Copies of this chain bind each other. A is one copy, B any other.
Amino acid sequence: MSEKLSSSEALSAARDEFVTQWGAIGSAWGINRTMAQIHALLITSPRALTTDEVMEELKISRGNAHGNLRELVAWGLVRSVVRKGERKEYFEAEKEVWKMFCTIINERRRREIKPAMEVLAECAQRAKGARGAEADAFIRQIRALGDFLSMADNVLSKVASSRESSVLPLALKFLK
């Protein structure tokens, strides 16, 4: 046992490690573990994979693989490709990190920030009818939250539509 690993064994061990650990990290980030694993698998795969290959690699059911692949496609992190003359659907991930980042930012803006802003607007509206010091404080607090989110959303939208090369040097320079 414990012979020195061959080069390709070392690679696939490292890759398995990455897939497993990325799944765990995903959980901590509030992302479905399996979805994170599939994503890890795809961004480190030299070629597009089929549902069956994903099932095989991760030892998961068809339904599970299918659903999570669809989710990844819905997020825009993975696209399905059809090879001419073949009927199987292949999946490949966007590998460029900055693009991945922008996609995630935009999806989270859409799914998380926007609804929160709507809720705050709604609450501010409702509170209009109230008078007094306590009501004023409440309204101010809600408004502060709303203004912050709106600002953050704005910044994120700008960042997510920039090229990496134009944002990072700037960020690092000015945040000395």
Residues on A facing B (Cβ under 8 Å) = 5, 7-8, 10-11, 13-15, 17-18, 21-22, 24-25, 28-31, 43-44, 46, 95, 97-98, 101, 111-112, 115-116, 119, 122-123, 126-132, 134-135, 137-138, 141-142, 144-145, 147-148, 151-152, 154-155, 158-159, 162, 167-168, 170-172, 174-176
Contact = CB atoms under 8 A, between A and B. Distances in A.
Contact of A141 (B44, B129, B131, B138): B44
A130 B168 contact: no
A115 B25 contact: yes
19 contacts: A7-B131, A7-B132, A10-B128, A11-B130, A13-B126, A15-B138, A18-B123, A18-B142, A21-B122, A25-B115, A25-B116, A28-B111, A43-B141, A46-B137, A101-B148, A101-B152, A151-B168, A155-B168, A158-B176
A44 B13 CA distance: 51
Nearest to A154: B172
B170 A8 contact: no
A98 B17 contact: no
A14 to B, nearest CB: 4
A44 B144 CA distance: 12
Contact of A127 (B11, B123, B132): B11
Contact of A130 (B8, B126, B128): B8
